[in-house]
Amino acid sequence: MNKLFALILLLVSAASVNELFAQDVNMSVDAVKGLLCRKWDLSYGIVSGERIGPNPSAPTMSFDFKADGSVVIGFNGQNNHLQGTWAYDAADKWIKVTVNKQKRLTISSLKQDELVMLSDMKDITPNDPTDKLVYKPAAN
């Protein structure tokens, strides 16, 4: 009985990890451009497995993706912006976002009403608990 419980727990855990890091961008370049190229605002994050909404007093990033492969990253209520680029890899089914020559952001899922982004900051902040960020199309 204990072995059966352990096996079920292992399978559920593996499914959760696979869902978290699954890459689900499987479409043509034109379809990616059609869905991606607009402004996206942060909806919520998943931190240590827990859904966390944006803090109203903390700056959040918005992403404005352009069809030419550029992206403008803005911060709510601030006039400073970062410039970056994005590239779609159809073979690996992901979109990489490069800012300041660093590829730390990966879009792992792209849908009409949702963009899921993973951040790789382990070498900068080893204890950063952010697993994934979920963005929705901007209202404007």
Task: Count the domains in the chain.
Answer: 1
pLDDT band with cut points at 50, 70 and 90 for residue 111 = very high
Q: Residue 122's pLDDT is what?
A: 64
Q: How many helices (H) and strands (E) does the chain have?
A: 2, 9
Classify residue 5: in a domain, yes or no: no
Q: What CATH number does residue 47 fall under? A: 2.40.128.270
Residue 50: pLDDT over 90: no
Looking at residue 66, the DSSP 8-state letter turns out to be -
- Secondary structure (DSSP) of 10-41: HHHHHHHHHHHH--B--S-HHHHHHHHSSEEE
Q: pLDDT confidence of 125, banded at 50, 70, 90?
A: low
Per the structure, the complete domain to which residue 45 belongs is given by 24-137
